[in-house]
Copies of this chain bind each other. A is one copy, B any other.
Amino acid sequence: MAEKKYVYLFKDAYGLGKELLGGKGAGLAEMTHIGVPIPQGFTITTEACTNYYENGKKTADFIIRQIDDAIKAVEQQSNKSFGGLDPNKTPLLVSVRSGARVSMPGMMDTILNLGLNDESVKILAKVSGNERFAYDSYRRFILMFTNIAKGHPRTNMDRMLDKIKEDNGYKVDTEVNAEQLKQLVKDYKEYYKKTFGEDFPSDPYVQLHEAVEAVFRSWDNPRANVYRQMNSIPYSWGTAVNVQSMVFGNLNANSGTGVAFSRDPSTGKKEVYAEYLPQAQGEDVVAGIRTPFHIDYLKNQMPDVYAQFEKTIKSMEAHYKDMQDMEYTVEDGKLYFLQTRNGKRTAAAALQIALDLLDEGVISEDEAVLRVEPKLLDSLLHPTFDPKALKAATPLAAGNPASPGAGVGHLSFEASDAKARREKGERVILVRAETSPEDIEGMVSAEAILTMRGGMTSHAAVVARGMGKCCVTGCSAAIVDEEAKTLTINGKKFGEGDTISVDGSTGNIYEGALAMVPADTKAGNFGRMMKLADKYRRLKIRTNADTPKDAMQAVEFGAEGVGLCRTEHMFFSGERIFHMRKMILADNVKQREEALAELLPYQRDDFYGLFMSMKNLESINVNVRLLDPPLHEFVPQEEDKIEELAKALGQSVAQIKARIEYLHEFNPMMGHRGCRLDVTYPEIGRMQARAIIEAAIKASKDLGRDIEPEIMIPLTLDANEFRFVKKIITEEADKVIAENKVKMVYHVGTMIEIPRAALLSSEIAKEAEFYSFGTNDLTQMTFGFSRDDASKFLGDYYANKIFESDPFQHIDQKGVGKLVKMAVKDGKEANPNLHCGVCGEHGGDPESVEFFNAVGLDYVSCSPFRVPLARLAAAQAEIKLQRAKKASK
């Protein structure tokens, strides 16, 4: 049997795919194939990386043999000698770079100029006629090898170069001359020997093997791990390694290097966007040591090279049918491309490019829809800081970019204060150690929220994203003293009168007011792309909204209804919380019904507002969920509030406290909540059913249109239970309809958020008219951990690669998804009219939307600011599904 291949020359690798070659390797093979001038070389596959890790972090002998054979082939291709081993030939020097399946820019390591040693450097000096260049390359190589292959910090070696510059009064590196560089090389090698107890390796094969392993290792470095986790890239993929002949942009005056985009990555404008830095290596550009020139420099200096450059770029874009991001080098008047990839772009550019390519006839309509990453859209929905102002400003501190957007205002340390000041027209930033449900009004009133504690899924973060409100959480450098009403950052104290700017997209905090630019969601490209998306998607898009304001915002963004109205959020403001507490702490049904009667008008008005907010839609779809959280979340802790309640209920303070104590639960998440409350206190469900139906009747009359309200029972786990609660609801609803002498169709369905409900779907579906998957709770129950508590150990799960992505962000398809799929299938078999949607936060996650589309949900519901994203994601999901179906035929 032939030996398995772990190493491919670029010229032999075309068509082997990114899984094996990594993105960069596949690109180089493809460029070779289509005749783009590139320095030749080879790719060590991702399987070699996996083998390295499985083999106890050691490259297997048979892989080393294949690498050595490949280097010899490149020697032949180029007629050069690796590491100058043959003094009669030009030395072959190589770069060693990582290349994962998807681009992970800057996360892994690269070593350049490999192959230099005391012999080859002399040949290089001779061949190039540039001794300074040769020793500068050698110096750089020793530095990179020491830093990356040996994992030693650069600091001391950088200082040695700095000392030469200081001693001689040089300002820039290029002033250091050949002799000085020669000495520096000597000093570097001595430093190396002192540090590691061995000579710097002069054997180019030893250099190469160590460099390859260093790149393998860099797959597992902390920043790569964090990046992968953020972008859901599996650890198991591994990285490929590309070994490529060096070309030198710093060889002479006819040399240089640069980066080029086939279109403007910032605006999407159809013109080559490129920079050129003469007499430099790519490193210099990336490190920002020297500022590159406009591409016109090259055009003027070497018009022929430029012509070839422009032509090749266009041919590459034509080949890839997408905007390309390329690195190139000119070596002594000869042009080489070093890599190409689909270019990263801003949201605006993504829209522009996709639509231009469509209009140019390069791509089809459905392909254009696929070209825009849904999560990019978010940045187009929120007002943002003026990029110029941002560039000029220095952040005070940074936290988690919990909810994008920009906020400028005076500091406010208390919800009620924020509300009061906002009502007087002042713009405030709510600054809290962390937020709780009682801060909701303050959050609504603030321009942005800043918390000292909490991550991307903390209360502040979740609520703020739901509101589309700018929010930075867990800014640990910001010491918040809520009592003293001060915010201290790096020793600097800010008070209520001070202004800060909060950038929710980056997590940065700035002193003073940065200039802002408004979001323009009506821009032509945006609207056009949304229309295209709507044409291709099968899923309906609804929104999770508790207030008419949120609901109207969502409709503005294209929502087709309310998929989840959480009634409990309506109970916190003003007098309502008092009546709510009276209801909860009542010690008999009569008192409870009295308190509920006080709450009824509030609820009815809220629901009326929600129905009315849908009036511009073809049909008015509002889904109201009955009270869900455990009651103890509403009870007061403050003595004065308790006394007030005791008085109102004619009970003693001790009685009230005893009842509050009784409400305490060991595991509130698994306690007395959801429809379990309606089983115990049917009067709560009755009040809510009445409020919904009365509101719908009023809205229906006012609009002169039919409305079919949807009433959702939370936390169902059994068909009997559903039937029991449904009966409470329908009896009251039918009564209200009869009292009003009208006709009204309404629908009763359930959340599916308990594993057992999913397992018993075929029974429950016979009773329920619709399902809404509450994937937040379903994830918690299926994993058996609560989101609040899991934060203590999930870090260890990521660090040890047990989990590679956050199941609360992307639906866990294998576990939770299996339940969803099963429940939809069984449910629709039992009740073909069953309407199925999702209202967990996954409804606004593109990856999850793709799954929901595939398993046959009818709609997804997400927070208002995720609606455009969901529309696009739903379209992409359906396009991919249809393509996959076609492909499998």
Name A's B-contacting residues (CB within 8 A).
665-672, 676, 679-680, 715, 717-718, 720-721, 724, 753-756, 759-760, 763, 777, 780-786, 788-790, 792-793, 796-797, 800-803, 812, 814-816, 818-819
**C-alpha spacing A268/B279, complex, angstroms:** 107
Q: Which residues of B contact A785 (CB under 8 A)?
A: 670-671, 676, 717
Chain B residues contacting A819 (CB-CB under 8 Å) are 755, 759
Contact A784 B756 (CB under 8 A): yes
Q: Give which listed residue, B676, B789, B797, contacts A679 with CB less than 8 A.
A: B797
Q: In the bound complex, do residue B816 and residue A780 qualify as a contact, i.e. CB atoms below 8 Å apart?
A: no
Q: Do A788 and B667 form a contact, CB below 8 Å, given A717-B783, A718-B803, A802-B718?
A: yes
Q: How far apart sit A666 and B630, CA to CA, in the bound complex (Å)?
A: 13
* A866-B797 Cα distance, complex, nearest whole Å: 39
**Given B679, B756, B759, B784, which contacts A670 in the complex, CB threshold below 8 Å?**
B784
B720 touches A801 (CB 8 A): yes
A756 CB contact (under 8 Å) in B671, B783, B793:
B783
User: Which residues of chain B come closer than 8 Å to A715, judged between CB atoms?
Assistant: 784
Docked complex Cα distance between A668 and B665 (Å): 11
Whether B754 contacts A789 by the Cβ 8 Å rule is no
Q: Given A815-B755, A819-B759, are A672 and B793 neighbors across the interface (CB < 8 Å)? A: yes
| Contact present for A784 and B717 (CB under 8 Å) | yes
What is the CB-to-nearest-CB distance from A220 to chain B, in angstroms, rounded to a whole number?
15
Report 22 cross-chain contacts, Cβ distance below 8 Å, ordered by A residue: A665-B789, A665-B792, A667-B786, A667-B789, A670-B784, A670-B789, A671-B789, A671-B790, A672-B789, A679-B796, A679-B797, A717-B784, A721-B797, A724-B800, A754-B784, A755-B755, A755-B784, A755-B815, A756-B784, A756-B816, A759-B819, A781-B781
The residue among A667, A672, A753, A780 with the most chain B CB atoms within 10 A of its own CB is A667
Q: A802 — which chain B residues lie within 8 A by C-beta?
A: 679, 718, 720-721, 724
On chain B, the residues within 8 Å of A796 by CB distance are 679-680
Which residues of chain B have C-beta atoms less than 8 A from A717's C-beta?
783-785, 815
A760 contacts B803, CB within 8 Å?
no
A786 contacts across to B, CB distance below 8 A: 665-667, 670-671
Asked if A815 and B756 sit within 8 Å, CB to CB, the answer is: yes
| Pair B672/A670 contact, Cβ less than 8 Å | no
The 8 closest A-B pairs by CB, nearest first: A671-B789, A756-B815, A754-B784, A667-B786, A670-B786, A667-B667, A666-B788, A755-B755
Chain B positions within 8 Å of A782 at CB level: 754-756, 759, 781
Report yes or no: B672 in contact with A792, Cβ–Cβ below 8 A: yes
Determine if A720 and B666 form an interchain contact, defined as CB atoms under 8 angstroms apart. no
* Docked CA distance A819–B676 (Å): 23
CA distance A666 to B791 in the complex (A): 12
Q: Chain B contacts of A783 at CB under 8 A?
A: 717, 754, 756
Taking CB atoms, residues of chain B closer than 8 Å to A724 are 800, 802
CA distance A460 to B879 in the complex (A): 59
Of all chain B residues, the one with the shortest Cβ separation from A763 is B814
Closest to A799 in B: B679
A781 and B801 within 8 A (CB):
no
How distant is the Cα of A672 from the Cα of B818 in the complex, in angstroms? 25
Find chain B residues with CB under 8 A from A797 CB: 679, 721
- Expressed in whole angstroms, the Cα–Cα distance for A780 and B780 within the complex equals 12
A105 CB to closest chain B CB (Å) equals: 27
State the Cβ distance, A716 to closest chain B Cβ, in Å: 10
**Which chain B residues lie closer than 8 Å to A721 at the CB level?**
797, 802
Smallest Cβ-Cβ distance to A779: which chain B residue: B756
Complex interface: chain B residues within 8 A of A777 (CB)? 784
For residue A801, which residues in chain B have a CB less than 8 angstroms away from its CB?
720
A680 proximity list for chain B (CB < 8 A): 793, 796
Complex: A50 Cα to B87 Cα, angstroms: 102
What residues of B have a CB within 8 angstroms of the CB of A720 in the complex? 801-803
Residue of B at shortest CB range from A816?
A: B756
Given A666-B668, A667-B667, A720-B801, A679 and B793 touching (CB < 8 A)? yes
Given A672-B793, A755-B819, A760-B814, 13 more pairs with CB closer than 8 A: A666-B789, A667-B667, A667-B669, A670-B784, A679-B802, A718-B803, A755-B781, A756-B782, A756-B783, A759-B814, A759-B815, A760-B815, A781-B784
- For A815, what are the chain B residues with a Cβ–Cβ distance below 8 Å? 717, 755-756, 759-760
Give the distance in Å from the alpha carbon of A753 to the alpha carbon of B782 in the complex: 10
Residue on B with the closest CB to A819? B759
Q: Across the interface, which residues of B come within 8 angstroms of A760, CB to CB?
A: 814-815
A812 to chain B: closest residue by CB? B756
Min CB–CB distance A710 → chain B (angstroms): 23
- Among residues of B, the one whose C-beta sits closest to the C-beta of A725 is B802
> For the complex, what is the distance from the CA of A834 to the CA of B538, rounded to whole Å?
43
Considering the complex, give the chain B residue whose CB is closest to the CB of A666.
Answer: B788
Per the bound structure, the CA–CA distance linking A786 and B671 in Å amounts to 6
On whether the beta carbons of B672 and A669 are closer than 8 Å, the reply is no
Set of chain B residues within 8 Å of A666, measured between Cβ atoms: 668-669, 786, 788-789
